[in-house]
């Protein structure tokens, strides 16, 4: 997945397995439409850049910032409605 730069995660996703985005070195943006942060594992984003942005639903950034998602994303932004 070296060419993968962006990922969209639907609002019905509740978990993402380990190694799902392993070594996706070009990944810079993730859009997650789930209002509750899906469970992720310690190796879900292994080998990706830390300097990537996570976009989440309006009003949900604090939930993502207090979850494991914050370990992988230096910027968590709320999407416009």
DSSP string, 4-54: --EEEE-TT--EE-TTTTTT-TT--EEEE--SSPPEE-TTTTTTS-S--EE
Amino acid 49: pLDDT: 85
**What SS3 state is found at 34?**
coil
Amino acid 51: pLDDT: 81
CA distance 41 to 67: 11
CA Rg value for the chain: 11
The two three-digit tokens of residue 69, written as one number = 């998602």
Amino acid 1: pLDDT: 78
The residue that leads in pLDDT, 7 or 81, is 7
pTM over 0.75: yes
Model confidence band, residue 14 (pLDDT cutoffs 50, 70, 90)? very high
Amino acid 54: pLDDT: 97
- Confirm if 64 and 38 have CB atoms less than 8 A apart: no
CA distance 47 to 33: 23
Q: What is the mean pLDDT of residues 14-43?
A: 95
């Amino acid at each position: 997945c070296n060419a993968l730069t962006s990922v969209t995660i639907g609002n019905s996703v509740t978990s993402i397995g380990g190694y799902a985005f392993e070594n996706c070195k070009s990944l810079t943006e993730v859009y997650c439409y789930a209002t509750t942060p899906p469970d992720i594992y310690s190796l879900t984003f292994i080998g990706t850049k830390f300097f990537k942005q996570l976009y989440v639903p309006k009003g949900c950034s604090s939930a993502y910032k207090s979850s494991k998602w914050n370990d992988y994303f230096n910027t968590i932004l709320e999407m416009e409605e």
